[in-house]
Amino acid sequence: MRFPRRQLLQLSLALGAALASPWLGAQTASNVGAATYPASGTHSVQVGDFKVTAILDGISRRPMSEGFVRNATVEQAKAALALHGLPTDYLDVPYTVFLVEADGKRYLMDSGFADNGPPGTGKLRDQLAKLNIEPAQIDAVLMSHLHGDHINGLRQKDGNLVYPNATIYIPEPEYAFWMSKEKLDAAPEAARGGFLAVRRVLTDYPADKIKRFTPGDKLLDQFDTIQAFGHSPGHTAIAIGAGKHRFTFLGDTAHFPALFVSNPDWQVQFDMNPEQARTTRQALLNRMAQEGGLVGGYHFPFPSLGHIKKEGERYHFVSE
């Protein structure tokens, strides 16, 4: 996927916001307090012949401020939160990784932060331990995209691999974009961190543990991959099963559901190509409503699992 230099600048600035804003909001917005955590950081659901477990890596609290929704005012965004019975001055933004257990294998969808994130994150390893699962028992990690809050969990600060026996599956357009020296050199200084984070994780990663795929490919004979471009150049949804016994990981397609499922034309500030992301969101939400299966969203309020329902022209996320 090629981008003109002007668009690359816009995308890079959006990336800078994507990487910084949730962290800075959590660290500097003392007036909105600390994030509220659920009693349990895991939630499991049996779906047909496989099991899905939502695992909370952490939560950041950020103020609900102008610009978080690109094409709506902060007053409109706060009104949408109020309709869902949520606080209007802040968002508690979770980072939820999903574990799929099928045919005796364990697969993670995205990886969280490990020890590279802001305060209140990096809880995934402890949550796995509560499930009696060691990181070395993870067979594969399927990546939706390579923003820092999704990929940093593959490697600790000291360079050690978190999942030493897992094969990492990465969408080819994502890998090509973030590992491009040309795009790194063209990025403004404030946005270079996104490229460098990917390089920190992937440079010198064991070659036999990295598999790049074309979105649309079937992985491991059971996972469907679905083009969901816009949030990032190769953003990909991942699904397993069929019909109502199907689970689809939406990644960041609809970020926070009270805002972007209920108002799919709204564009979160972190979308690198906002118009493409809007079109993708509309199409994927419609598909999920028709299929009726279980969905998971990386930033959906924990337990981050549920169903997409359509009423007229509007969509709703109904939590599991």
Q: Choose among 84, 270, 206, 234: nearest CA to 144.
A: 234
Statement: residue 14 has pLDDT above 80: no
Quote the pTM value.
Answer: 0.92
How does pLDDT run across 258-289, given as a tens digit for each residue? 999 999 999 999 999 999 999 999 999 999 99
Q: Is residue 306 a part of any domain in this protein?
A: no
- What's residue 24's pLDDT? 35
Q: What is the pLDDT of residue 31?
A: 75
Cα separation, 250 vs 256, whole angstroms: 11
pLDDT per residue as tens digits for the range 127-182: 999 999 999 999 999 999 999 999 999 999 999 999 999 999 999 999 999 999 99
Residues with Cβ within 8 Å of residue 150, at least 6 apart in sequence: 110, 111, 112, 143, 144, 251, 252, 298
Considering its fold, how many domains does the chain have in total? 1
pLDDT tens-digit map of 177-203: 999 999 999 999 988 999 999 999 999
Q: Strand 140-142 vs strand 167-171: parallel, antiparallel, or unpaired? A: parallel
The confidence score (pLDDT) of residue 313 equals: 84
Residue 218 lies in a domain: yes
Distance CA 71, CA 77 (A): 10
Write the pLDDT tens digit of every residue in 247-261: 999 999 999 999 999
Whether 111 has a pLDDT exceeding 90, the answer reads yes
Task: State the pLDDT at residue 25.
Answer: 36
Structure tokens that stand for 66 in this block: 């102008």
Between 312 and 80, residue with greater pLDDT: 80
Confirm whether 128 is domain-assigned.
Answer: yes
How buried is residue 276: exposed, middle or buried, by Cβ count under 10 Å (0-12/13-18/19+)? middle
How far are the Cα atoms of 13, 172, 199, 288 from residue 176, in angstroms, in the given order? 19, 6, 12, 28
For residue 294 the two structure tokens come to: 């279980």
Share of the chain above pLDDT 90, in %: 88
Whether 216 is covered by a domain: the verdict is yes
Are 207 and 149 spatial neighbours (Cβ–Cβ below 8 Å)? no
CA angle 121, 124, 129 (to 5 degrees): 140
What residues make up the domain containing 44? 5-229
pLDDT of residue 22: 38
Does some domain include residue 93? Answer: yes
Question: What pLDDT score does 134 carry?
Answer: 98
Q: Determine the pLDDT at residue 200.
A: 97
Q: Which residue has the higher pLDDT, 22 or 49?
A: 49
The pLDDT assigned to 165 comes to: 98
List the strands of the sheet with 218-219, edge to edge: 218-219, 223-227, 236-242, 245-249, 294-296, 305-311, 314-319
Q: Whole-angstrom Cα distance, residue 294 to residue 114?
A: 27
Residue 138 falls within a domain, yes or no?
Answer: yes
Classify residue 247: in a domain, yes or no: no
Using CA atoms, how far apart are residues 137 and 149, in angstroms rounded to an integer?
A: 22
Domain membership flag for residue 208: yes
Cα 31-34-38 angle, rounded to 5 deg = 145
Least confident range from 23-37, 63-77, 281-295: namely 23-37
pLDDT of residue 17: 42
N- to C-terminal Cα distance for the chain? 36
CB atoms inside a 10 Å sphere around CB 121: 26
- Which CATH number belongs to the domain containing residue 175 in this structure? 3.60.15.10
Mean of per-residue pLDDT scores for the chain: 92
